[in-house]
Each structure stands twice: as C-alpha cells, then as structure tokens.
Amino acid sequence: MTDQLRIALAQLNPKVGDLPGNLALARKALDDAKSAKADILMLSELFLTGYFPDDLLFKPQFVKDAIAAARALVADTAGTDVVLILPTIWIDVTGMHNAVLVAEHGEITAIRYKRELPNSDVFYEKRYFEAGPLPLPVTIKGVSVGIPICEDVWHTAVCEHLAMRGAEIMLCPNGSPYWTNKQHIRKDLVRARVAEDGVPMLYLNQVGGQDELVFDGASFAMQPGDKLVMQGKSFEPDFIVTDWTRTDAGWTCDNGRIEELTSVEEAPWRACVLGLRDYVLKNGFSHVVLGLSGGIDSAVVAAMAADAFGPEKVHAIMLPYRYTSEASIRDARECADRLGVRYDVVAIGDPVDGALNQLQPIFGNRPIDTAEENIQSRMRGTILMAVSNKLGSMLLTTGNKSEMGVGYATIYGDMNGGYNPLKDMFKMDVYALAAWRNQNMPGDCLGRAGEVIPQAIIDKAPSAELRPDQTDQDSLPPYPVLDDILTCIVEDEMALADIVARGHDAALVKRIERLLNIAEYKRRQSAPGPKITPRAFGQGRKYPITNGYRDGTVG
C-alpha cells in the first residue's frame, strides 16, 4: 500500500479508425508518463478506435485489429512501473463491450466494462455493446480505484457501488462531446458524485473534431468539499500530471494545475474552429476555399478558416452578378484584406445569362421566379466546386441554422461544400460571434488579431442579392423573431400554442413550422458541421423527410 500516487491524464486527439496513429499517440503518452515518473496513466474512452467508431464495430477485421492494438500497448508496459488504464473495445462470452483494461508489467491485471450505455441524442451504444455488471474497484499500487466509464457517472448507481465496495479514488475516462454550457454541466455532475460518495474523481475527456462532434477536452479533478483541484486546457491536447496524498480525510491533490476554462462567449468559436480544422486535416486536405459574398455568414466562416489553418491556407472568391451591390464587392475585398487570405473575383454574368438563354425555349413566357434566381446560386456552387477540384481545396459552405431551418438556401448551389462551420448556429449567434471575434483573439488560433470582420458587414441588412434590392426579410421574419420561433420548435419541442403564447403571431408560427418540415430533405443533403447546441440538425435532431404530422394546437 502506498500513500502517494502520481496520476497522468493524456488528453489527446485520436482519429476514429486510425489504429496505427492512435497507437502511436498512446505510446508517446506512455513514454511521457515514464518520464514524469507517473504511477498511473489514463487514456480517454475507446482511445485506440477513436470515439465513436460507429459501424466499424460491425466489421470483424476492425474489431480483431483493435484488440490486437490493445494487446500491443499492454505489452509496452513491460519494464516500467506505470500502470496503464486503457479504454478499448473488448469481447467476452457475453458479447462486445466498451471496456477498460488495466495493464501492468506487460500483463492485463483487470478488465472492467461500461455499465450505463447511452442511447439518446448522438449516442447509440446499445446498437453495438453489451452492458457490463456493476463494476468492482481495481487495486492499483495497493490503492482501491474505481473506474466508471463516461455515462456511468451520469447515474448514481455505478459510483455509489464502487464507493461502497471501497474505492478510494475515481478515475473516469470519457468521450464527451461539446455543446453549449457542457463544460459547466459536467462539473455540476461530478460535483454531485463526489459529494454523494465522498471520493475524489479525476475526469479525463478527449479533445478534437470527429465529423459533426467536437470534443473539448477540459479535463478536471474534484475532491470532497467542492474543491476543483485540477483543470486542463479546453479545445487543445494536454498532458496533465497530478500528485495525490492519502490523508485521514481521504486522497487529496497536492499540485493540481488550474487552466482558465474557456468562456461561454469564446467556446462556440473554439468549437467551430477545432471541428473545422480536424475535419479538413483528418480527411487529407490542407487548405480550403469559400465564396466570400460580403455578407456576415461567409465573413465569419472565412475568419474561422483563417484561425483554423492560417491565412495562407484560405482562398476566398467573390462571384458577382448584376444584382451584387458595390458595397458587397467592397466589403468582401476589405474582409479578405483584413484576414490576409487570397482573394479572387470570378464574375458569373456570362455563364448565368448563357444558361438562361438556353433555357428560354423551355421556360417560355412564364414569369421570372426563384428558378432564375437559383441559377445564380447554382452557378456559384459549380464554379467553387471547380476550384475545389482543380486546386485540391476543400470547399466550405456558409449557411447558418436559421436559414437551414426554413430552407432558405439553394440545394446544389450555395449549399455545395464539404463542411459548414455555421451549420448549428442561429443567425443572431453569428452576429454575436462576429462582434466577439473582432474584440478578442481566441486561443490556439492562427488568424490575425483585431477587427477582422468589417463593421459594415455586421451592420448591413442581410441579403442573398439574387434580385434587385432584395433582403432576407422580404421572405423571412426578422431574425430575432425567426430564431426564437425555431429555438422553441427545434431546441425545446414546444407546442405551437405555447409559442404563440410567448407573443408570436399564430399564422407566422404555423408558416415557420411548415417551412421547417418541408426543408428536411435539404438538410439531409447538407454538408456536415460542428454540433454546438443540444439539438443540431443531423446529429441531434432526426426527423423523417416524408412526414404527415402537423401540430394542430393552433387553428
């Protein structure tokens, strides 16, 4: 039995499916733990496969290779005094499990299974895993250690059981994605477990972007008495070493490093930048292209891209037509200059007019409507895709959640692209982020400081500029009104009558619900983007395209 423990937490950025790459990250962490003379090294949930591997888990060879990688890492603990806590998939006679291996001196000394399998929101672990029994503590260096896995701490039973069976300290590996206020929600959760069980907990979270999920890291430790004794970095990899001493009151942390948690205002920007950076780089691209219209959405995406990759890796293209205002052309150029990104102009007048001339025999004398307007957007999308193909840049699309909610976007046009950093961000939130970025330089970002988004772009009335003097409010209610209605329907699943009771016009509420429903087919075909809210389109909100239900609470 020891009265001293040095515990290392590896807050790293694995890539789903990259077994050799993740194994290399884990081996580097093991070397770092040796150098730090750590007693214990913990990796995050399902580290070697990455979280979450989805239907790769139905591929027998992948499962076989993942288990082989785990055994190889276990073997690497030979010749060291570091005890490795390795979260991985594992198979026994009952099936496949989300598991933790405890390894020491090259051997597996204990195996524990996740008890509580999440099966809501973005999680569907019951599709793949069998739930384990209530776990027992593991003895490490003579200390009784509980290892609840992620969701296990969101329910009282597992930690309570571990404490009752003698666990003196809890080590919790996680794959917990970010959304608004999630960092504080986790803290409140762990605070409750520590208060209930009287046992300190070290909470390790992974970091990085994985398709539409962003993992923010922000690992931490709490001990009884509501004491935050360690706080890791947010949205960045971190290697955190803490020393713990057994006292009459239990285990206490001697030297926890406390990093400042990202603010509620900064966190969405950091999440979007990290999600964008990892999606592009992990999929083999090194630079991006986007249409820069002189509007707020494309300006914010361009700023995020510059922060993610550096200005030299961002290519902005203005694609004017006869309805594009001089102000938009001027604002787009100024934005590109402030960001320091490459800027080109490709006029679309000739190709659009040529398409309209060729279509005239089919269109005939029918009145001009959105069909002609959409040709402009689709021509822009075609040109941007051509640049993407020729130069090898990933095309970014720039529609926000308000527009995507009501279908105010042209499929196969401005929706073209491989990734959309604003997909889960309402229009008014985009404005707020633009103002915030102009006043702040986010951590771990590569763009320029200062007012990178011209104030003229923030101040102007939003417009698609597909016809003379057009504004968004010709077709939509003011964005503060639209955002509130959409928040009520999408985020809160409120009945229409309750939304009307908030002061909204009944006919407008019904119209927005209709637009939301009929735009589902567009959202299914939209680019992925980072999940920022609890109810993101795609990852957090799955509705049928063919859907006959309509809320009848408003006549």
Each residue of 489-522: pLDDT tens digit? 999 999 999 999 999 999 999 999 999 999 999 9
225 has binding-site annotation: no
Task: Bin 503: left if φ > 0, else alpha if -120 < ψ < 50, else beta.
Answer: left
**Per-residue model confidence as pLDDT tens digits over 315-354:** 999 999 999 999 999 999 999 999 999 999 999 999 999 9
284 has binding-site annotation: no
Residue 6 in tokens: 């040095």
Q: Is the pLDDT of residue 157 over 80?
A: yes
Q: Is the pLDDT of residue 200 over 80?
A: yes
Q: Which residues are catalytic?
A: 45, 114, 150
292 has binding-site annotation: yes
166 has binding-site annotation: no
| pLDDT score, position 552 | 85
* Average confidence score pLDDT of the chain: 95
Which range has the worst mean pLDDT, 135-139, 232-236, 247-251? Answer: 247-251
35 has binding-site annotation: no
Is domain 4-253 in CATH 3.60.110.10, yes or no?
yes
Cα gap 190→202, rounded to integer Å: 9
**Per-residue model confidence as pLDDT tens digits over 89-130:** 999 999 999 999 999 999 999 999 999 999 887 888 999 999
**Per-residue model confidence as pLDDT tens digits over 449-460:** 999 999 999 999
Span 267-473 CATH architecture: 3-Layer(aba) Sandwich (3.40)
331 has binding-site annotation: no
- Domain map of the chain by residue range? 4-253, 267-473
Chain center to CA of 350: 40
295 has binding-site annotation: yes
| pLDDT score, position 39 | 98
Q: Is the pLDDT of residue 85 over 90?
A: yes
Q: Tally helices (H) and strands (E) across the chain.
A: 16, 19
Average pLDDT over residues 134-156: 96
| pLDDT score, position 555 | 75
Element (H, E) at 144: strand 143-146
Confidence of residue 466 (pLDDT cuts 50, 70, 90): confident
Give the closest residue to 414 by CA, choosing from 459, 441, 381, 452.
381
How many CB atoms lie under 10 A from the CB of residue 271? 29
Residue 172 in tokens: 């919790």
374 has binding-site annotation: yes
Confidence of residue 463 (pLDDT cuts 50, 70, 90): confident
- Residue 524 near residue 545, CB atoms below 8 Å: yes
Cα gap 469→457, rounded to integer Å: 16
| pLDDT score, position 422 | 97
Assess whether the previous peptide bond of 285 is cis (omega < 30° from 0): no
**Per-residue model confidence as pLDDT tens digits over 349-377:** 999 999 999 999 999 999 999 999 999 99
Q: Is the pLDDT of residue 465 over 80?
A: no
Give the closest residue to 525 by CA, choosing from 353, 407, 376, 430.
407
Cα gap 490→410, rounded to integer Å: 21
